[in-house]
Structure 1
Amino acid sequence: MANKVLVVDDERTIVKGIKFSLEQDGMKVDCAYDGEEAVNLAKANTYDIILLDVMLPVIDGFEVCQQIREFSQVPIVMLTAKGDDMDKILGLDYGADDYITKPFNILEVKARIKAIMRRTSKQDKEVSVLTFGSLVVNEEYRRVYVGDREINLTSREFDVLEFLVATPGKVYNRSELLHAIWGEDFPGDERTVDVHVRRLREKLESNPSEPRYVRTKWGSGYYFQA
């Protein structure tokens, strides 16, 4: 089955170029040119990934991302023309999984999409359910529970948790986590890791300031406490 992508940008020439290139790779592509249209399409359809511009009419990309996260955990890649790292980090804070800075090479966009697709694919994956007290991590379906409550994690948040739980007690510094999860060529800042860890704690922990699961070894990095 072909992967389905939603491209959201008010610059129609950019949308046209991305759409043409992705369709050449056999993907199905829907397009939206403002934030409200993007939210409505995301509610009405199931997508494998959303490419979302930050600067949009009606509703900006950050608000769109936040609204989509209320009903969907579809991977979201922000497209930003701004060079300020804080804008990128803000996008991640609203629930985005990744970002690409304009102007971009379409080959980079396609590579990011394929990398995310590989991580989120359930095909040919053995069933693996990890249990740590009240915390349950279902690796096959990429779902997490604390007690009877399901925790809605973004794709990247799950990747971070899955990586850490694979080796309980092992400490990873920010650079190691960034390279292992985002890839060697990821141009982003190491603060990206801090944002995702903080969001994980807010979702998993009853008291995020004194985390039980995702913990900090001061001066060294992060680790999972089994």
Structure 2
Amino acid sequence: MTETAIDLVGAFGGRPPDLLLADITRQHDCLPIKHLRRVFREIWDDKPPQLPCIAMVSPNQLSLPEIFAIVEDFLIPPFSQVEAQARISRLMFKHRKVESSNSIQFFDVTLDLDAAVALNSNGCRIPLTPKEFNLLSFLCSHRGKFFSREMLVNLVWGVSFEGGERTVDIHIRRIRAKLPTQAASFLETRRGIGYGFRGVE
């Protein structure tokens, strides 16, 4: 297992991967994930990488006491490619926000990704709810791209969200109402496609 992990590191050119997707459906415990992370810590002992992990598990493995401390999300076969991509994208986006020290600026609005707050030009907080902030920061992070309501629900709310897709419309409307007029104009709607954030020079 150690040699396999070292070979895996070599395949990444000596750089840690961004995410672990582990199939432990045929395992009786989480030892493969624990071992892989231990090897990574030994290789990058100066700055061990923070590795978000999605595990493919069987339903009975959800009862393992340690799994929730090791794995951040789960895929239970059979699952669709769309579901897998949505969970991976959501987890990557989450960690990009947590680990980033940068902010996103457009017009006179600043999104502080570390503090998860939006500020106007005077440095005053714009009263976005956590979900409104997540939706706005997601769209800002993908400038020039447009997403359907279904995609936004999966990527921002999560595939387990039981509400309807119209919740996206409600949140977009509330975000626009709270932002300064010119800043709100960056949020665009394309009929038949969905919502996006137009590019900023």
> Could you tell me the TM-score, scaled by structure 2's length?
0.48
Structure with larger Rg: 2
Where is the helix percentage greater, Structure 1 or Structure 2?
2
